[in-house]
Amino acid sequence: MKLLIAIFFSLMVCAACSLPPDKPFTKEDLYKTGIYTYFTVNDSPESVLSAINKEGEAILDAKYRNRPVWIKLLGKVDGLSIQIIER
């Protein structure tokens, strides 16, 4: 029984990992999110796209009106998903 529980949790952890997208995202897709318009992002668009296309997600160090935030970008089938997290 304990083995089944361990296998179940192992499968859940593997399913929760981010995967690279099937179709690579472009700068146009990234600019559609508006993060470079509303936030001061410390990372270049090229490095962000590289991380998203390689790992499926990117966490950016940014500022919004002089408040530090993290921006989490997830590459999904229907586009980029954004989460803003205050520090």
Task: Tell me the residue range of the domain where 73 lies.
Answer: 18-86
- How deeply is 57 buried, as exposed, middle or buried, from its count of CB atoms within 10 A (0-12, 13-18, 19+)? buried
Decide if 4 is inside a domain: no
Name the amino acid, one letter, at 37. T
Residue 6, pLDDT score? 62
Residue 23, pLDDT score? 85
**What is the number of domains present in the chain?**
1
Decide if 70 is inside a domain: yes
Decide if 57 is inside a domain: yes
Decide if 77 is inside a domain: yes
Tokens of 6: 């361990």
Q: pTM of this prediction? A: 0.74
Decide if 55 is inside a domain: yes
- E strand segments, 1-87: 40-41, 57-64, 67-76, 79-86
Decide if 26 is inside a domain: yes
**pLDDT tens per residue across span 24-39:** 999 999 999 999 999 9
Decide if 56 is inside a domain: yes
**pLDDT tens per residue across span 39-78:** 999 999 999 999 999 999 999 999 999 999 999 999 988 8
